[in-house]
Chain A
Amino acid sequence: MQSSNTTDEARRLLEICNACRYCEGFCAVFPAIELRRSFTNGDLNYLANLCHNCRGCYYACQYAPPHEFAINLPKTLAELRGETYVEYAWPKPFAVFFKKNGTVVSIATALGIAAVFLLTAGLQSPQILKDVHTGPGAFYKVIPEGAMIGVALGTTGFAILAMVIGAIRFWRDTGGGKATGLHALATAARDVLTLRYLGGAGDGCNNRDEQFSQTRRVYHHALFYGFTLCMGSTTVAAIYDHILGWPAPYAFLSVPVLLGTFGGIGMMIGTAGLYWLKLVGDQTPTARKWMGSDYALLMQLFLAAATGLALLVFRSSSAMGALLALHLGIIFSFFAMMPYSKFVHGVYRSAALLRYAHERRNSGQPEVATHS
């Protein structure tokens, strides 16, 4: 069991919160606190991931600094959340990637891009990156089909395995038990897909100051659903290619291109918006230590979407080869780093929401009234 200064601080704060309870109506964290009288390290890790960093409690807190109790729950839970990413990472030696994660992810991205360019130029020929390629199978002329599919399956397969193991470790550490109740699964799925707890109690969360706004939730939705559309695009394209035998590129109005276009635009808006909110937002209730990690993931996702759209626009030109190499380099590094980047917040937060839905149902505590 890990025990750090952050753990001790989180425990101190939660014990005060449990004596106060004024924030009970904000989100899931406070009703979950109230189900306990003391907090194990597993409880703390669970609550840290249940927190969506909406910051409503920070601005409402009568004990926030400069009060001597100095309660800054969003910051402390964000710091602890980062530590849980390290704690549950698999395989263990790779947890080191979470140290200076912003830098690590940025370097990995640069290396991914460089690798694709060097391998293409070296194993194929530098000229291939400059030629115009059109017609079915054009992309495979630049990056051979076997290499593209092999790397894609390898990185995503490993990423999924690593994240599933991480999720299992989280689940066990935070209390174990079965997680199969249909009602709880449905509740958790709704809470994830609607980002219920970035909605505050109807008016959204705090970014710059005491005022509430739905902006962060909207940008996150643009990113999340944009990303989902892009995954859909890739899936449809894979079916076209490998089952129906229609290799890319596809027409502008085809299903994969439409999904990818809207998805890519959504991702660019979402990532740019979230980046901007981080820049202008109040830094006090945030974990500065983990900001680099946030920025790196946003950068990766923004670049993935931007290069994907650029590839679409310039696919008939001589820029296609280089753009494809760039795009795939970013995608490759994104999937390779997925279990060791801020991306894992989605895994643990979903698991925490599932645990919450379960314990809520078992406790008989009434649903918290959020008007989302």
Chain B
Amino acid sequence: MPGEAPLALNQTPDVLVIGGGNAALCAALTAREAGASVLILEHAPREMRGGNSRHTRNLRLMHEGPTKLLGDSYSEKEYWDDLMRVTKGKTDEKLARTTIRLSSDLMPWMERHGVRFQPSLTGTLDLSRTNAFFLGGGKALLNSYYTTAEKLGVSVRYGAEVQELKRDGNEIREVLVSREGVMETFRPKTVVVASGGFQANIAWLKEIWGDAADNFIIRGTPYAKGRVLKNLLDQGIASVGDPSQFHAVAIDARAPKFDGGIVTRLDCVPFSIVVNQEAQRFYDEGQDMWPKRYAIWGRLVAQCAGQTAYSIFDAKSVNLFMPSVFPAKRADNLPGLAQQLGLDPIQLEATVAQYNSAVAAGSFNPRVLDDCHTDGLVPPKSHWARRIDTPPYYAYPLRPGITFTYLGIRIDEQARALTTDGGAMTNLFAAGEIMSGNILGEGYLAGFGMTLGSVFGRIAGKEAAHHAIK
């Protein structure tokens, strides 16, 4: 298989990178170019390599003036304000500002390592000034990085799951790895952990969320088990981020348990009413523009009975949003639709009738916060409220789709892992989702995960190489 490390591989690389996504590859490339020998341990097989980066499509870049791809400017101040707005201040300002500032240098570096860009995709106008889109998406980006890494002499082992990092004082001495049922021991000079969060570890999620976790859908890689994260936290590495929190959006309930990615998203909520299993509404579907609201719906649906809700709309709205992977449920009348969804037909009709009678006249415009709203309805629908009265009627079943978890390991500006006793590890560095909680304590900003992974991947790679070969 191309890119496989030879069997007689030196088990004492200068830099051992754990993980195979964007941050891992940025670290590996940087360390290799600094002269270090580098080995990547990727848990997934080659075909599924790349963690959640497989499903990404852009990253958010600061730029003081127009670039060849991004128009106008996106200043440090505006970027910082956006970050403060979504995190509500739960961020480490130094690390956050480092990320923002260094994001302005990323594009040429990425292009030098094979990444290609394209104009912002159709339907993403809101991101066209701030976010640069990868041609072909995240998997294409990863392919470029892996190809470049292999050309530079980085070794890659797929299907290699790290079981344990052995801490000795402020150093990692050994890394135990299982691959095809065989345990191997590595003694690297330095280690970069870029192995993501724990969102794919359902048992772990159940410790926090109970049986509801069985109904959560994991939008990304099934390999983000959090084993490395847990192992390090158990050995006195300092944690960061709320251990009980995750980022989630409302997605199609029929999505695969893992790795459904972008196509399972549903953008229909603002043009619909959303009901729970009692066929009752529970939140303002038209509160704000959808890109600003989709993340709260993950949480809202997670709190519903059975972690399931239903977005219901009529023929007027069917073409107002991006198509998604599964067709909507469809019926000529509301009782028929209720039957397909397993809802009480009488209650659904009553809920729709109550909503319809509260809809005030207005001029509908899906592109702005229009004046179509409800009067005297609890909860209200503040915008895009139109009567649901034109058959056929449609519905999408919704479930929470978890993107990532916030718990991570605390790092300093050199991406060194910090310890609970206030020290810093000398040869352990972290990048990507496993440390994103330092900067992204809450919420999410589109494309920021890839920015953060790229910036701290490069920092971790540089520092690790420096430490290993000084």
- B-contacting residues of A (Cβ < 8 Å)? 15-16, 18-26, 34, 37, 56-57, 59-69, 201-203, 209-211, 366, 369
Contact = CB atoms under 8 A, between A and B. Distances in A.
Contacts of A64: 47
Given A16-B325, A19-B262, A62-B55, A68 B135 contact: no
From A56, A62, A366, name the one whose CB has the most chain B CB atoms within 10 angstroms.
Answer: A62
B411 to A, nearest CB: 29
Interface in B110-154: 116, 118-119, 121-123, 133, 135-140, 143-144, 146-147
B54 A62 contact: yes
Contact of B136 (A26, A66, A209): A26
B324 interface: yes
Interface of B: 2, 45, 47-48, 54-55, 57, 116, 118-119, 121-123, 133, 135-140, 143-144, 146-147, 256, 259, 261-263, 319, 322-325
Contacts of B137: 20, 22-23, 60, 62
A21 B261 contact: no
Contacts of B324: 19
Given A21-B121, A22-B121, A62-B139, A68 B256 contact: yes
25 contacts: A16-B325, A19-B324, A19-B325, A20-B137, A21-B123, A22-B121, A22-B136, A22-B140, A24-B122, A59-B143, A60-B139, A60-B140, A60-B143, A62-B55, A62-B138, A62-B261, A62-B262, A65-B47, A66-B45, A68-B256, A201-B116, A210-B144, A210-B146, A210-B147, A369-B118
Contacts of A22: 57, 121, 136-138, 140, 262
A19 B325 CA distance: 6
A23 B152 CA distance: 27
A25 B261 contact: no
A196 to B, nearest CB: 16
B147 A15 contact: no
B135 A25 contact: yes
B254 to A, nearest CB: 12
Contacts of A65: 47
B119 A25 contact: yes
B116 A202 contact: yes
A363 to B, nearest CB: 11
A16 to B, nearest CB: 5
Contacts of A34: 122
A69 B255 CA distance: 10
B135 to A, nearest CB: 5
> Main SS of chain A's interface residues?
loop
B262 A15 contact: no
Contacts of B55: 62
B263 A16 contact: yes
Contacts of A59: 136, 139-140, 143
A175 B468 CA distance: 64
B323 to A, nearest CB: 5
Contacts of A202: 116
Contacts of A57: 136
Contacts of A210: 143-144, 146-147
A16 B133 CA distance: 19
Given A20-B261, A62-B137, A201-B135, 9 more contacts: A16-B325, A25-B118, A25-B119, A61-B139, A62-B55, A68-B259, A203-B116, A211-B147, A369-B118
Contacts of A66: 45, 47-48
A19 B139 contact: no
Nearest to B146: A210
B68 to A, nearest CB: 11
A66 to B, nearest CB: 6
B25 to A, nearest CB: 13
Contacts of A15: 323, 325
A60 B256 CA distance: 20
Given A62-B54, A67-B48, A24 B121 contact: yes
From B133, B137, B138, name the one whose CB has the most chain A CB atoms within 10 angstroms.
Answer: B137
B325 A60 contact: no
B183 to A, nearest CB: 25
Nearest to A12: B325
A54 to B, nearest CB: 11
A59 to B, nearest CB: 6
Contacts of B322: 19
A22 B263 CA distance: 10
A40 to B, nearest CB: 16
A62 B136 CA distance: 10
A23 B116 CA distance: 12
B114 to A, nearest CB: 9
A22 B57 CA distance: 7
A67 B136 CA distance: 17
Given A24-B121, A209-B2, A63 B319 contact: no
Contacts of B116: 201-203
Contacts of A23: 136-137
Nearest to B57: A22
A60 B323 contact: no
Contacts of B259: 62, 67-68
Nearest 8 A-B pairs (CB), nearest first? Answer: A22-B137, A60-B136, A25-B118, A60-B140, A210-B143, A19-B263, A25-B135, A19-B324
A197 to B, nearest CB: 14
From B54, B121, B144, B146, name the one whose CB has the most chain A CB atoms within 10 angstroms.
Answer: B121
Given A16-B263, A62-B55, A201-B135, A21 B122 contact: yes
A19 B323 contact: yes
Contacts of B118: 24-25, 201, 369
Nearest to A65: B47
A61 B262 CA distance: 12
A16 B265 CA distance: 12
A369 B135 CA distance: 10
A29 B140 CA distance: 18
Nearest to A203: B116
A56 B135 CA distance: 10
A21 B137 CA distance: 9
A206 to B, nearest CB: 10
B283 to A, nearest CB: 25
A121 B118 CA distance: 63
A75 to B, nearest CB: 16
Nearest to B58: A22
A200 to B, nearest CB: 9
A62 B122 CA distance: 19
Contact of B323 (A24, A37, A63, A211): A37
A307 B167 CA distance: 73
A22 B256 CA distance: 19
Contacts of A209: 2
Contacts of B323: 15, 18-19, 37
Contacts of B135: 25-26, 60, 201
A63 B325 CA distance: 12
B261 to A, nearest CB: 5
Nearest to B261: A62
A20 B325 CA distance: 8
Nearest to B266: A19
B384 to A, nearest CB: 20
A89 B429 CA distance: 63
A358 B224 CA distance: 46
B140 to A, nearest CB: 4
B319 A37 contact: yes
B54 to A, nearest CB: 5
A316 B322 CA distance: 69
